[in-house]
Amino acid sequence: MPVYSEKVMEYFMNPRNVGEIKDADGIGEVGNPVCGDMMTFYIKVKGNRLEDVKFQTFGCGAAIAVSSMVSEMAIGKTLEEALTITPSMVAQELEGLPKNKFHCSNLGAQALRKAIRDYANKKGIKIKGLEEKGEEDEEGEES
């Protein structure tokens, strides 16, 4: 097996927050099945907080574990706080990722950010931390 940490294995085998939120307040989709991984994040916002986060992921063990970890890290956070989640924080929470799987942790953070952006766009609001990066940057960042 890939040399995954126990934490990755746990989050892969028993993923948290899998699924779709039917009436999501924001949806973010990143990746591409051609490249191997694709993630869709759904968020439900209450007040300024992420009341619920769910995901669907097509991809490897790391991609699933990352999605699961990001969703768990995000739930309960304010939107501003959620936007501070970085790929390296995700990797660290997962007790490390194999080198050639780093890009999965990027994808997770990107998908969440995209869902928040979707929410912001729909609401026509500005959120601190969101304007700093263009969408294109997000797709490409650190990968």
Partner 1 sequence: MRKVYLDNVATTPILLEAVEVMLPYLREVYGNPQSLHSWGDEAREAIDIAREQVAALIAGNPEEIVFTSSGSEANNLAIKGLAQAQAGKGKHIIVSAVEHFSVLHAARTLEKAGFELTIVPVDKYGLTDPDEVAKNIRKDTILVSIMHANGEVGTIQPVAEIGMKIKETGVLFHTDAIASTGNIGVDVKGLGVDALSLAGNQFYGPKGSGALWVRKGLRLIPLMDGGVQEGGRRPGTENVPAIVGLGKAAELAQRDMPSRMEKLSHLRDKLIDGILTTIDHALLTGHPSQRLPHHASFCIEFIEGEAMLMLLNSQGIAVSSGSACTSQALKASHVLIAMGISHEIAQGSLLFGLGVDNNEGDIDYVIEKLPPIVSKLRQMSPLYARFMKEHRG
Interacting residues toward partner 1 by CB under 8 A: 1-2, 9, 12-13, 15, 18-20, 29, 33-40, 55-64, 100
The full DSSP string for 69-128 is HHHHHHTTSBHHHHHT--HHHHHHHTT---GGGHHHHHHHHHHHHHHHHHHHHHHT---T
Please state the closest distance from residue 78 (CB atom) to partner 1, in A: 26
User: For partner 1, which is the closer residue by CB, 1 or 136?
Assistant: 1
Cβ atoms of residues 51 and 44 within 8 Å: yes
Q: Closer CB to partner 1, residue 80 or residue 142? A: 142
Nearest distance from residue 51's CB to partner 1, in Å?
21
Query: What is the nearest approach in angstroms of partner 1 to the Cβ of residue 1?
Result: 5
**Interacting residues of 111 by C-beta distance below 8 A, sequence separation 6+:** 28, 29, 30, 31, 39, 40, 41, 55, 67, 70
Residue with smaller CB distance to partner 1, 9 or 127: 9
Residues classed as catalytic? 35, 104
